């Protein structure tokens, strides 16, 4: 039976969870995830973990934060004066906002704190700084 290698296009089902068991994503209720090994379009640690798997094989892949969404960076957290928000936006903790930067790029930030005078925005990915665990089943090698 063939094993997945660099350059192969594969389909996997996965469940991603944190070390405490909290599930943050799963493909089990949708189509399998399809990607080509080596294109670096998915989490690097998962891509590496699939190499050597055979179709229908399952395994647990542990991915440290650096091979997932990177470390949590304090320099990506900023406080904005509340009066700089447009009047039609009432920031609330947990709300996600899209900011447009000067180079026409946009970035998604999460509101983490709201006070009378400022709003704290966090541009880190919600899973930054977290080690992740994936239960992966290789469905097929295309």
Per residue in 59-105, pLDDT (tens digit) is: 999 999 999 999 999 999 999 999 998 889 899 999 999 988 888 88
Averaged pLDDT of the chain:
95
CA distance 78 to 100: 15
Identify whether the C-beta of residue 121 lies closer than 8 Å to the C-beta of residue 110: yes
How many angstroms separate the CA atoms of 47 and 41, rounded?
Answer: 9
Which of the four pLDDT bands, split at 50, 70 and 90, describes residue 1?
confident
CA angle 125/76/121 to nearest 5° reads 80
Q: Please, what are the domains in the chain?
A: 9-70+127-141 (3.10.50.40), 74-122 (2.40.10.330)
In tens, the pLDDT along 96-130 reads 999 888 888 899 999 999 999 999 999 999 999 99
105's CB contacts (< 8 A; 6+ apart) are none
């Amino acid at each position: 039976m063939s094993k997945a290698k660099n350059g192969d296009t594969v389909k996997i089902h996965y469940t991603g969870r944190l070390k405490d068991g909290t599930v943050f994503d799963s493909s089990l209720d949708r189509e399998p995830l399809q990607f080509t090994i080596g294109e670096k379009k998915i989490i690097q640690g998962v891509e590496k973990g699939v190499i050597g798997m055979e179709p229908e094989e399952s395994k647990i892949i542990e991915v440290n934060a650096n091979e997932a969404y990177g470390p949590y960076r304090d320099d990506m957290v900023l406080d904005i004066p509340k009066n700089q928000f447009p009047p039609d936006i009432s920031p609330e903790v947990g709300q996600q906002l899209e900011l447009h930067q000067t180079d026409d790029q946009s970035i998604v930030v999460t509101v983490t704190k709201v006070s009378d005078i400022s709003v704290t925005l966090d541009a880190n990915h919600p899973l930054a700084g977290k080690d992740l665990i994936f239960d992966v089943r290789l469905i097929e090698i295309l």
